[in-house]
Structure 1
Amino acid sequence: METNTHTEDAALIGERQAAARTLMARPLLTRRTHPAEFSLVRSHAEWLVQRFQRVLGYRLTVADDHARLVKRGLVSEVVRPLTRPTGSRFTPRTHTYLALALAVLVERTGPTTVRSLAAQVRAAAREAGIDADPARGLGERRAFCAALQHLIGLGALTETSGTVREHQADAAVDAGLLPDTDVLRSVAAHLPRAGDDPESFLADTVDPDPESDQAGEVALRRLLAETAVVHRERLPDRQRDRLAAHQWRAAAALGNLLGCDTEIRAEGVALVMPDEAAATPCFPSDDPVGHTALALVRHLSGRLHPGRPTTSVPVPEQELHAALEAFGGADAPARSEWARTAGPELPGPDRLSALVLELLSGLGLLTGRPGERLLSAAAARFGADVDDRVPRIQDNDEDSRTHPAQPRGSGHGGPDAQADPRGDLDRVASVLQAVANEKVSATSGDTGDDRGPRDGSG
């Protein structure tokens, strides 16, 4: 039986929902890295364990020094790429060292050092048939240290003397480390079995269209909680029907758990989280990627909206690249401003474009492959302002606003054929001509009712 939240203390409800939002954003929470948030989760552990299992089917474990929310049923929606402090993504080599370091550290119970750990990682790699040696050169050492810094950020490792960053700069520095074995064993939530390959492992974790109604409702709640917008047209038929039938019940359950509002529209459903929640990438933001993404969304919304009810509109590839070049290309005025400010890393033009497209794709605002991209109707929520710095690109899409109007009598399919693909101006002209004819008839005394000599009246 669901708890009636209206009868509970408002402060208590707010604390529980804030703790739930924190776990959604940081599934591994430790006392050392986030003491205030962990204390809040610990104090409401029983309620959180029961409610996460009931609403989302997620398993929550709360120990003395850490809490781990184990998510399931989704992959791309809940998995965020691991990054270095500079914002660059982990390379495959860094992921390899992270896995090897975990394999070694989960068996340790006492302090160690970076150089000792590197030797153990090298031995583990040799045993597994992997060519990896943290002491082989600067590139290998950087990848190894990035993996260790990630574990330190999670609270699974503690630097006791010196730092891993110092060892990265100078291999002679031997920083002391203290592993937390329980936290280390919670880093990897789902371990593959011996016979799994990557495809089968990922396939076992995803079921977008469960057969039973109960499992289908839980899958919908997960999708609503983990994605920015759930578009009805992108759901399988069964899930689309379930969303239409149970969307308000799902909204109530997620509202009680996360303290969020739900916006339900014809094209889809979105959860609106309080400002401090950060389960998804923050957008809009002031960094170069967020700034460029916002400018791109506003420009495309103003330039490409077809002027009729729709859930998405095709984005011409030339229009997209022209806008990205204007907003973040090598000659874009904004790049000089970003270079002068003391802010985050300024990516190169190509990498900036890739990060912008990745961000908008993750938010569901720009979907599809190159040449087949679609701009979601949700993008218009951020504004629709055509930027004059982006040149117009002519294409053959009848619903596009990228066509320059042809001058009358230019021989391009009739007057204003390109500027008026649906013939709206022709219909308006017909109405105006009819009104003009009526005025002429009224002033000449001809009512238009009498038949003329050519009307068969003899």
Structure 2
Amino acid sequence: METNAYSEDAALIGERQAAARALLAHPLLTERTHPAEFPLVRSHAEWLIQRFQRVLGYRLTVAADHARLVKRGPATETARPLTRPTGAPFTPRTHTYLALALAVLVEEQGPTTVLRLADQVRSAAHEAGIDADPARSLGERRAFCAALRHLAGLGALTETSGAIADHQADPAADPHLLPRTQVLRSVAAHLPRADDDQDSFLAAASDADPDGDQQGETVLRRLLAETAVVYREELPDRQRDRLAAHQWRAAAALGNLLGCDTEIRAEGVALVMPDEAGARPAFPSDDPVGQVALSLVRHLSGRLHPGRPATSVPVPEREMDTALEALCGVDAPARAEWARTAGPEVPDPARLRERVLALLSGLGLLRGGPGHWRLTAAAARYGSEADEYVPPIQDNDLHGRTRPDKTRGSGDGPAPEAPADPQGDLSRVASVLQAVANEKVSASSGDTGDQPGPGGGNGDGSG
């Protein structure tokens, strides 16, 4: 089979971008946990190190058995909490045991056991003045084992005989573990310079509106890469102006690095990753929770269309309750359909409702809380329809979509005013779109990541 230079270049670019997406989704990537992606990272290490530094200001280290991408930027807004296998978030106690286990394991050079590690953790806690003992109670043991299982999931620990879960169930069980010392030393991010302290490092990393234009543009790229949707009205004034002026240049740089498309609209900007990229939870999914969540989003999008550019619209409490009852309740038609299949277990109505709202909140499609829910503009990507299972809400003899009624006559009185825009952002849509049109001309000749970033080309500026 013949090949040409174009097909070879396309394959090379595809490999590099697939490796970059894998690192963005899994900042600690090991040979054992990601056997398909890690060889790509090793093969294109030099290109990846340079591009991550130039485009996002991230520091990448590639070793013989692992790669570590150290991120800086909107950690508070985009980071997801560590969770147990059940999905429950780590408690402060579990984080304490994770830190203590790392402090002990980074010095280990050979095989160990869970009981021996528990003794070492107890001693380290006593030395640090921390009240922690994995053998004290079932709750302590569970927190300790959750920390160890997290490290095993990262590829930093290998269960060579038995499983950590055995010790959680039986305090006498003593599984054998093999620490991967170099991987363990890469779990926690290290300060890039000797004169940095943790407070200044975190303050610089969380600065959402730097003074310099180049630093500000880098922060915008990080926000676009790590956030599902960046809404214009939620940005500081300077960053909103930078986004309007440089969004196509940022799209070109991120597309070159990650192989993604960029969707630019009046409300905001979103990166659209290829299907195989797993940086965010898959949605919609085939399980009952995912399907009910999709139905709810489509229904609300059909009923609450604002008829104008808007970052979000309020969801009336009655509308939400009625829709959830129709889609999650005992008599929901979908529940009867799932019951006839051999698919996953269908949660009870209250639990299903809770998980659906948690899923949509985590995806950024819903914001707020009970009585104060808002549907975001990103929900429109999943279509709009009024679900036939949900009865219309009667409200002063009017119901249906909130789209302005074009059939109103001249004698019907003034049409209701659109909701106020407290920050005046959406009133600037026309100027933003004009800036987009003007800036498209220079997109191909702008900075696509080939120019040195805020830290130069020496790799010292990433955290």
Give me the TM-score of the superposition, normalised by structure 2: 0.79
1:275-324 Cα deviation digits (max 9, x unpaired): 00011221111233322221221111111113344332111233223323
How do 1:299-314 and structure 2 match up within 5 A?
Answer: 299-314=299-314
Structure 1, 377-386 or 246-255: larger mean CA deviation: 377-386
How far does residue 140 in structure 1 lie from its aligned partner after superposition?
Answer: 2.3
The question of whether the paired residues in 2 share the 8 Å contact of 1:56 and 1:218 is answered with yes
2:321 corresponding residue in structure 1: 321
1:400 corresponding residue in structure 2: none
Q: Tell me the percent identity.
A: 74
The question of whether the paired residues in 2 share the 8 Å contact of 1:87 and 1:345 is answered with no
2:410 corresponding residue in structure 1: 427
Describe the SS at the equivalent of 2:276. Answer: coil
1:135 equivalenced with 2:118 (yes/no)? no
Describe the SS at the equivalent of 2:68. Answer: strand
The question of whether the paired residues in 2 share the 8 Å contact of 1:227 and 1:363 is answered with no
Q: 5+ unaligned residues in a row in structure 1: which ranges?
A: 395-402, 407-415, 431-458
1:405 equivalenced with 2:397 (yes/no)? yes
Change (3 A) 1:202 1:334: farther
Q: Distance in 2 between matches of 1:420 and 1:31?
A: 53
1:295 corresponding residue in structure 2: 295
The question of whether the paired residues in 1 share the 8 Å contact of 2:122 and 2:133 is answered with yes
Q: Distance in 1 between matches of 2:402 and 2:55?
A: 51
Change (3 A) 1:425 1:65: same
How do 1:185-264 and structure 2 match up within 5 A?
Answer: 185-189=185-189, 203-264=203-264
How far does residue 141 in structure 1 lie from its aligned partner after superposition?
Answer: 1.9
2:362 corresponding residue in structure 1: 362
How far does residue 215 in structure 1 lie from its aligned partner after superposition?
Answer: 0.7
Change (3 A) 1:264 1:419: closer
Describe the SS at the equivalent of 1:220. Answer: helix
Q: Distance in 2 between matches of 1:329 and 1:52?
A: 47
Q: Distance in 1 between matches of 2:289 and 2:201?
A: 32
How do 1:367-378 and structure 2 match up within 5 A?
Answer: 367-378=367-378
1:118 equivalenced with 2:118 (yes/no)? yes
1:153 corresponding residue in structure 2: 153
1:426 maps to amino acid: G
The question of whether the paired residues in 1 share the 8 Å contact of 2:267 and 2:309 is answered with no
2:147 maps to amino acid: A
Q: Distance in 1 between matches of 2:227 and 2:402?
A: 38
How far does residue 369 in structure 1 lie from its aligned partner after superposition?
Answer: 4.9
Provide the aligned C-alpha RMSD in A.
Answer: 3.2
1:173 corresponding residue in structure 2: 173
Change (3 A) 1:278 1:93: same
How do 1:271-290 and structure 2 match up within 5 A?
Answer: 271-290=271-290
Describe the SS at the equivalent of 1:81. Answer: coil
Greater Rg by CA: 1
How far does residue 326 in structure 1 lie from its aligned partner after superposition?
Answer: 3.1
Report 1 or 2 for greater relative contact order, CA contacts < 8 Å, sequence distance ≥ 6. 2
Describe the SS at the equivalent of 2:269. Answer: strand
Change (3 A) 1:204 1:392: farther
How far does residue 219 in structure 1 lie from its aligned partner after superposition?
Answer: 0.8
The question of whether the paired residues in 2 share the 8 Å contact of 1:404 and 1:419 is answered with no
1:157-182 Cα deviation digits (max 9, x unpaired): 01111111222222222111111111
1:269 equivalenced with 2:281 (yes/no)? no
How far does residue 93 in structure 1 lie from its aligned partner after superposition?
Answer: 2.5
2:108 maps to amino acid: R
Structure 1, 132-141 or 35-44: larger mean CA deviation: 132-141
1:258 maps to amino acid: L
Q: Distance in 2 between matches of 1:345 and 1:87?
A: 16
Give me the TM-score of the superposition, normalised by structure 1: 0.80
The question of whether the paired residues in 1 share the 8 Å contact of 2:292 and 2:356 is answered with yes
2:325 maps to amino acid: E
**Equivalent residues, number:** 406
Change (3 A) 1:194 1:117: farther
How do 1:102-117 and structure 2 match up within 5 A?
Answer: 102-117=102-117
Describe the SS at the equivalent of 1:278. Answer: coil
Change (3 A) 1:213 1:351: farther
